[in-house]
Structure 1
């Protein structure tokens, strides 16, 4: 019985490590700058304008560039004039809206 528990525990650990490698990874400013200079992603300013235009008068709370499954996306968090926090995700390579939801 102990052997089965150890094998099961090992399998769970391997699965957990595999799944965590698929999770989104936030990129730092140096990585973002290099990708922008290489023409891989659009300028943050352009995508921020696009996100903020969805909710005129909103205030920016946070913006992050992340990579998940080989795709780059900007996740923008803002608060609307009504006090609602929105999470907007845009494809960093072409500006296409991926999601817009209340956070």
Structure 2
């Protein structure tokens, strides 16, 4: 079977775009509010408290809700009292800790 290089390049680009869309997407505040009101995700305040309690005295830098592989995830970035930036990921539905590591 002979494959046209131009066709295979287009197919590769389409697959790459599709995979990146499926992999992760940031949700806006309206989407987050609707999911919270529907009981799909936990309250951000509850999850922030959980994240911040892992590193007492830390300051919040950023929090965002994303969907990744069909799962809602809160990604929280904070700076510890030692000045280290941490990235904490929590399952937005269950509150389970998914990751807590030093951010690059």
TM-score tier after normalising by the smaller chain length: over 0.9
Q: Which runs of 4+ in 1 moved over 3 A?
A: none
Inter-partner Cα distance in structure 2 for 1:27 and 1:10: 28
Partner Cα separation in structure 1 for residue 76 and residue 63 of structure 2: 4
Q: How many aligned positions are there?
A: 101
More divergent stretch after superposition (7-16 vs 46-55): 7-16
Gaps of 5+ in 2: none
TM-score, normalised by the number of residues in structure 1: 0.92
Task: Give the TM-score, by structure 2 length.
Answer: 0.91
For structure 1, the 5+ residue unaligned runs are: none
User: What SS does the corresponding residue of 2:4 show, helix, strand or coil?
Assistant: helix
Deviates more, 1:67-76 or 1:14-23: 14-23
SS at 1:67 equivalent: strand
| Structure 1 residue 74, shift from structure 2 partner | 0.4
